[in-house]
Amino acid sequence: MSMMTPPKKIKFTIPRLLESKGAGSPVAMVTAYDATMARIVDAANVDLILVGDSVGTVMQGAKNTLAVTMDQMAYHVQMVAAAKPSALIVGDLPFGSYQASNSDAVRNSIRLIQAGAECVKLEGGVHVSHAIEAIVNADIPVIGHIGLTPQSYHRMGGNKVQGRTEGDGAGSRERIMKDALAVEKAGASAVVIEAVPSDLAEEITNTLAIPTIGIGAGVHCDGQVLVINDLLGLSERCFTFTKAYTNFRQQAIDAVNAYVNEVHESKFPSTQHSFQ
């Protein structure tokens, strides 16, 4: 019997992301923060890997993402890039890395690209459109992020569903639509829409020429993104808009507990796991 070599996967690129709009099959993005997980999600055929600043809550155990630094993001991007995935690597710009000036935004984007990202993502709409434009002018592809923007934690009073109010106030439907249009006009290649009513996400998706990637934004977006720990059931909590496709947390507890019991009972290592 001959060994079959798996077909070489085609690299997912920014042009492929742009072409995916309206092509009938939504794109799938997940987060990963290191090479091991990047290899796993790439083997599972994801289109985009987001090295998200959710590393702050998911890996560092923080309450929000605000303390994540550029040094940390560059390190995690480097680890994911070491896996050489076919998926497009998106590096998240952390809080404080683009808000103060366009030159910060460009310099920090360059840093993530040099660490191995193929695109950067930043949060906000109208108010950060100048930063998006500056980064795009430096020839770096950008993905926007509107709706629930976790870096606006204090303004929003926590991570709250957005787009449920009428009018032009922060977090209103009209403002989120304006944010979407501003992100597109500034030259972004796609936009993440987080935690807004599905009909608003659908309206944005139908209005924009660039792909929308939803999380908690319903099924009508041009793609979906999930945090890998939520998808794998590693998190203790499961949010309404996330889906655990397996229960790795319990499986991990059971496996480690089996090891602990074998050690306590002097059953591990057996001769099979020892040198003679």
CB of 122 to ligand KIV, least distance (A): 10
Determine the size of the site formed for ligand KIV (CB under 6 A): 12
**Angstrom distance (rounded) from CA 49 to CA 185:** 24
CA quadruple 226, 157, 112, 186: dihedral positive or negative?
A: positive
Q: Bridge-partner residues for 49, per DSSP?
A: 30, 89
- Judged by CB under 6 A, the residue of 79, 112, 177, 192 near ligand KIV is 192
229 is a site residue for ligand KIV (CB under 6 A):
no
Q: Using CB under 6 A, which of the segments 1-9, 47-55, 156-164, 204-212 binds ligand KIV?
A: 47-55
Q: Using CB under 6 A, which of the segments 11-19, 48-56, 165-173, 247-255 binds ligand KIV?
A: 48-56
Strand blocks (E) in 100-170: 119-121, 142-147
DSSP states along 129-147: HHHHHHHHHTT--EEEEEE
User: Judged by CB, which is closer to ligand KIV: 140, or 231?
Assistant: 231
CB under 8 Å to 23, separation ≥6 — which residues? none
Q: Using CB under 6 A, which of the segments 46-54, 170-178, 244-252, 259-267 binds ligand KIV?
A: 46-54
50 is a site residue for ligand KIV (CB under 6 A):
yes
**Angstrom distance (rounded) from CA 11 to CA 4:** 21
User: Judged by CB, which is closer to ligand KIV: 219, or 256?
Assistant: 219
Q: Using CB under 6 A, which of the segments 45-53, 167-175, 195-203, 247-255 binds ligand KIV?
A: 45-53
User: Judged by CB, which is closer to ligand KIV: 229, or 271?
Assistant: 229
54 is a site residue for ligand KIV (CB under 6 A):
yes
Mark whether 194 is an active-site residue: yes
**Structure tokens of 12?**
């997912």
CB of 175 to ligand KIV, least distance (A): 19
CB of 226 to ligand KIV, least distance (A): 8
Q: Show contacts with ligand KIV in window 148-167 (CB under 6 A).
A: none
**Angstrom distance (rounded) from CA 46 to CA 168:** 36
**Angstrom distance (rounded) from CA 251 to CA 193:** 32
92 is a site residue for ligand KIV (CB under 6 A):
yes
The single residue of 194, 203, 262, 265 carrying the catalytic annotation is 194
**Angstrom distance (rounded) from CA 177 to CA 173:** 6
**Angstrom distance (rounded) from CA 31 to CA 52:** 6
- Judged by CB under 6 A, the residue of 52, 91, 124, 214 near ligand KIV is 52
Contact (Cβ atoms closer than 8 angstroms) between residue 233 and residue 246:
yes
Q: What angle do CA 233, 152, 216 make, to 5 degrees?
A: 40
Catalytic machinery residues: 194
Residues that bind ligand KIV (CB under 6 A): 31, 50, 52-54, 92, 145, 192, 194, 215, 225, 227
